[in-house]
Amino acid sequence: MTLVASSRRRAVAIYLLLALLAAVGIFEGLRMPASIFPSVTFPLVKVIADVGEEPAAHVMPTVTRPLEEAILRVPGVQLVRSITSRGSAELTAQFGWGTDMQAALQRVEAETQRVRPDLPPQTKIDVQWMNPAVFPIQGYALTSDTRTQAELRELADFKLKPALFRIPGVSQVFVIGGRNREFEVQLDRAALDARHLTAADVVSALQKDNQVLSAGFTESNHELYLTLVNGRVDGLDALERVSVPVPGGIPATLGELGKVKVADEVSYIRTTADAHPAVLVNIIRQPSANTVQIARAIDELFQSQPDLLPKGVRWTTFYDQARYVSDSVSGVRDAILIGVALAALVLLIFLRSFRLTLVAVVAVPACVSIVALGLGVFGQTINLMTLAGIAAALGLIADDAIVVIENIHRHREGRLSPDPAESGLREILPALAGSSLSTIVIFLPFALLTGVVGAFFKPLALTMAITLAVSFCLALFAVPVSVSLLGEGHAHGRAHNRFAASGPGRIVAALARHWRWVSSRTGRAYAATVRFFVRHGLAAVVVVVLLFAGSFLLYRSIGTDFLPSMDEGSIILDYWTPPGTSLTDTDQMLVEAEKVIASLPDVAAYSRRTGAQLGFSLTEPNRGDYVIRLKPLGQRRPVDDVISDLRTRIAAREPAIHTDFGQLLEDNIGDLTGGAPQPIDVKLFGEDQALLEQKARAIAQSIAQVPGVEDVFNGIVIAGPALQVRLDPVAAARFGITTDALHAAIEPAVTGSVAGQVRVGERMYDLRVLARSDQPLAGLPVRTPSGALIPVGDLARVQTGQPETEIDRENLKTFVGVTARLGGRSLGEAMADIRARVEPIVAGAPGISVSYGGLYEQQQQSFRGLLLVLLAGLALVATVVLFEFGDWRAPLVTSTVSLSVLAGVFVALRLTGMTLNISSYVGAIMMVGIVGENAIFVLQEARLQLRNGTSVAEAWEAAAGRRLRPVAMTILATVLALMPLALALGAGAQLMQPLAIAVIGGFLLSGPAVLLLVPGLYRLLDPRGGLAGSSRKPMPIKSLEK
């Protein structure tokens, strides 16, 4: 029993199975997490060491270097970068792609704990694995005109944070800004002097008294009791009654020594939202959570519990990744639906049959539903890459159905067999299997890709491979049965007549008549052209050579980038004021910058952090960032135009503010790769810090003159000056004073000493002792071990230190990185100019070497990997063709034509102004498999003709003539299916726009190349018709063309 007959007998079972798989696929698709990018395991571990306010020169040898050496001992570490600044060290360990990061994280933690005893005792270490889930997905602001910042902070910490944590999928809730409340003891200097006390004496007394200690267990009356000694204070009254021993006198209470009150802590962080002081709340999701569902749950939380927000408190959104995810997913979804509709129109025009078109169109959603099930099995999510894979494969899905339907339709119209479905499928099956396999194997080398391009495009390749496999199965089992059952019977005639009488039917009929008129007018010219190339093979060689030459020239003239430019609907504006600028002065400058931001009609909301940055990592008080949320795309300018306008206006209003503009997701990718998020990063390595800084300033000044280069930063981060109190060793020995004693005497007069905590209900508040005085630090008293009070000036020298420079290192080598961004120019063009300017500056500088990082480094690595994928894919397609036909000329011809078609890719990119980036590069790779697919059908048709006794020249002419209609249908259906992506209809389509344009350009050229060049080249190489296979018996099929 034949395949079609068997399938026809089991038609109900086949349809039921397809319906079941499609239903399960739809269910799986609806429950899949939705996000922008795939779930990627980035091989990066970050170690953050907090050392208080230690100077960078001290942190480097005592903290950074021991941690660097410890991390480098971890197996699999490829690179360790470190940033040492005042009071902190930040290290990143980069592993190879594919590393088990859970095990790597544990090894890094073990090594850092091993050196923990060698670090300063106050060092706090945090080790975390960097992945997309560590960045905020939603940002909210609490503002009020009636509540204080301390009240807003308590509301966020104790009421909103627990409620948000209960939402499924929420991993962390970060709160920053506002003021934390604390209990303060403001000591009276006169009262202390009268009793010969110091602030350190009060701190010591509180630390000894305000605590709960265990004295052990005791048995009494057959019960075991825990004995507790409790001196914990629980409020202002108890705190005022705490006694402080007075040397040689009566103990004094805190109430007698100063004022005890509840106050707001001193903070060197400022947070605002829409020009109002604000408390900012960032939401971090779990790796497997759905961003859109979390945002929806947060909205529902406040709707269902309005009492969470007191009267007069506003809860606003300043960053909304969920909206971008939703818009992107819906945009690509709409592109898929529009593409299906346009492809259906093409089929109607060519087939002139409503039911046959319906078979092909229904195959598309059925295939997509089953693909969703496959993606769920492989642990994928709904993201831009998987959706783009489905969208890019639409034409190929339709192509499989088109080939089968068109061949069966031709057999039916020509009455070539009593069972057109059986003979049509049997005739086309070898070519269909080979063509599907040639397209699938092109995606196999993507499994070898590493880096960002591998992480992003592996899901796309997997999606397309699954899609093509499912499409082949549908074309093999379901489509022939459906076409057979929906025959040209009377019922079909009535349905066709009803459709033809409708308005859309009349439009389709008019288009079909127009196409037939065009075909009739061009048919002879096409046949003559085919005949010319078949009989003059050297002409095909000349065309191929010209295409290769054109490809080379176009490639040299097209700009190159890493990622396509995207409009995320949000802006990250990093800023810094001159080194050492106070928080107050920085705040005043930023008020002017905020006026510029608020004046733009494109801005929907914004927030500002000063003294902190995205991710809530602390920084200098003169640095911070804005997160600016823009209005929907239809209500504003493109994001690049908004950035350019902001850059110009802020520079004109506050020239002292240095800015660096970017977009959040783009910067996150840069951060997760371990390097700079900027596209340009010129790294100077050397041991002479002064010389490095000198050359970095010269390079920054030089590349700022390069057209298109914006936001240039020389990489030199300078902290503010320090007031150094250096203990005199001689005086210290004479009076028995230690550095700890000196610190204990000075700290209460500067920021205050935290002497413990006060418990109020279930909340704990810091207890800070302050002893501020108008006198200089040199006059503060220090108690010696003998009880005498000695001024600081007699024990130490107080002087102003020089500002400190942040220290950057890579694998134990010091470097300075000059970074910049681009505006209106491709990365490759700009880097060519930058390299030409950098090389003369560093030439001859002793001990200095230069390398280029940032996104440019990622681009170079990605392009090298994609080139290998292209060559491997070409080899795999050639292998499939060789197995299909058993003739060495077949893979040679198909490979040659496939590479020549890249000229169409480059022409399309050039005409549309697109650059060659990882998206368009993948589109070029796809064309290798697609051209091989179409070439296989032409070769198979020629082989059938040769086996039926047709002469070699006539066989190739007939094959080209026979394949004209299906190739034209495939090209038009695929181009129209990809057109919504090529036009970037929707937020998420921008990422795949270059891929769609590249495929469209390649497809448009692939038709003439396959139909003209393949016959001409093969006829030249095989004038005797060896393709038929002398050892094979001719197939019993009638002549296909008369």
pLDDT tens profile 580-606: 888 889 999 999 999 999 999 999 999
- Answer yes or no: is pLDDT of 1031 > 50: no
- Residue 707 to residues 702, 704, 834: CA-CA distances in angstroms? 11, 8, 10
CB contact at 8 A, 366 and 1020: no
| pLDDT value of position 1036 | 40
Average of per-residue pLDDT values in the chain = 86
Among the candidates 733, 765, 800, a domain finishes at: 800
In a domain? residue 144 = no
Q: Name, of 343-352, 674-683, 766-775, 905-914, the range with top average pLDDT.
A: 905-914
Same domain, 628 and 554: no
- Answer yes or no: is pLDDT of 388 > 70: yes
Q: Which residues pair with 130 in a beta bridge?
A: 44
Residue that wins the pLDDT comparison between 360 and 727: 727
How many domains does one find in the chain? Answer: 5
- Answer yes or no: is pLDDT of 501 > 70: no
CA dist., res. 185 & res. 628, Å (int): 40
Among the candidates 92, 114, 130, a domain finishes at: 130
Same domain, 688 and 615: yes
Calculate the CA 236 to chain-centre distance. 51
- Answer yes or no: is pLDDT of 895 > 90: yes
Give the count of alpha carbons within 13 A of 651, CB side only: 12
- Answer yes or no: is pLDDT of 227 > 80: yes
Longest CA pairwise span in the chain (Å) = 124
In 565-648 the beta strands, taken as DSSP E runs, fall at: 570-576, 603-610, 612-613, 617-618, 623-630
Among the candidates 130, 156, 189, a domain finishes at: 130
**pLDDT tens for residues 735-792?**
888 888 888 888 898 888 899 898 888 888 999 999 887 778 888 888 888 888 889 8
**pLDDT tens for residues 959-997?**
888 888 888 888 888 888 888 888 887 666 788 899 999
Render 98-140 in DSSP notation, one character per residue.
Answer: T--HHHHHHHHHHHHHHTGGGS-TT-EEEEEEE-GGGS-SEEE
Same domain, 795 and 818: no
| pLDDT value of position 1038 | 38
Torsion over CA: 298, 302, 303, 304 (sign):
positive
In a domain? residue 292 = no
Residue 478 is given by DSSP the state I
In a domain? residue 622 = yes
- Residue 601 to residues 297, 350, 496, 530, 575: CA-CA distances in angstroms? 30, 49, 53, 59, 22
In a domain? residue 730 = yes
What is the per-residue burial (b if ≥16 Cβ within 10 Å, else e) of 608-645?
bbbbbebeeebbbbbbbbbbbbbbeeeebbebeebbbe
| pLDDT value of position 507 | 64
Provide mean pLDDT across the span 483-504. Answer: 56
Which of 341-355, 944-958, 992-1006 bottoms out in mean pLDDT, i.e. has the lowest? 341-355
By CB atoms closer than 10 A (0-12, 13-18, 19+), residue 21 is: middle
In a domain? residue 157 = no
Same domain, 938 and 1007: yes
CA dist., res. 957 & res. 968, Å (int): 17
| pLDDT value of position 40 | 78
CB contact at 8 A, 4 and 481: yes
Residue that wins the pLDDT comparison between 356 and 688: 688
CA dist., res. 913 & res. 982, Å (int): 12
In a domain? residue 469 = yes
- Answer yes or no: is pLDDT of 691 > 90: yes
Same domain, 788 and 810: no
In a domain? residue 628 = yes
Same domain, 841 and 707: yes
Same domain, 113 and 197: no
Same domain, 581 and 552: no
**pLDDT tens for residues 83-121?**
998 888 999 999 988 889 999 999 999 999 999 999 998
- Strand ordering across the sheet containing 258-264: 258-264, 181-187, 763-770, 753-760
Phi, psi of 753 (to 5 degrees): -105, 130
Closest to 589 measured CA to CA, from 658, 652, 654, 660: 654
Provide mean pLDDT across the span 989-1014. Answer: 90
- Answer yes or no: is pLDDT of 891 > 60: yes
- Answer yes or no: is pLDDT of 392 > 90: no
Closest to 85 measured CA to CA, from 66, 61, 59: 59
**pLDDT tens for residues 400-455?**
777 787 778 777 776 666 777 778 788 888 888 888 888 899 989 988 888 778 88
Three-class SS of residue 283?
strand
Residue that wins the pLDDT comparison between 706 and 350: 706
| pLDDT value of position 709 | 93
CATH number at residue 667: 3.30.70.1430
Closest to 678 measured CA to CA, from 503, 466, 827: 827
Q: Identify the domain containing residue 118 by its residue range.
A: 43-130
Same domain, 433 and 541: no
Place of tokens 């489509």: 479
Residues in the chain: 1042
CATH number at residue 925: 1.20.1640.10
| pLDDT value of position 967 | 85
Give CA torsion, residues 567, 572, 573, 579, to 10 deg: -150
Same domain, 578 and 705: yes
CA dist., res. 709 & res. 91, Å (int): 29
Same domain, 639 and 700: yes
CA dist., res. 708 & res. 713, Å (int): 15
In a domain? residue 142 = no
Which of 163-172, 211-220, 359-368, 859-868 bottoms out in mean pLDDT, i.e. has the lowest? 359-368
Q: Name, of 216-225, 610-619, 667-676, the range with top average pLDDT.
A: 216-225
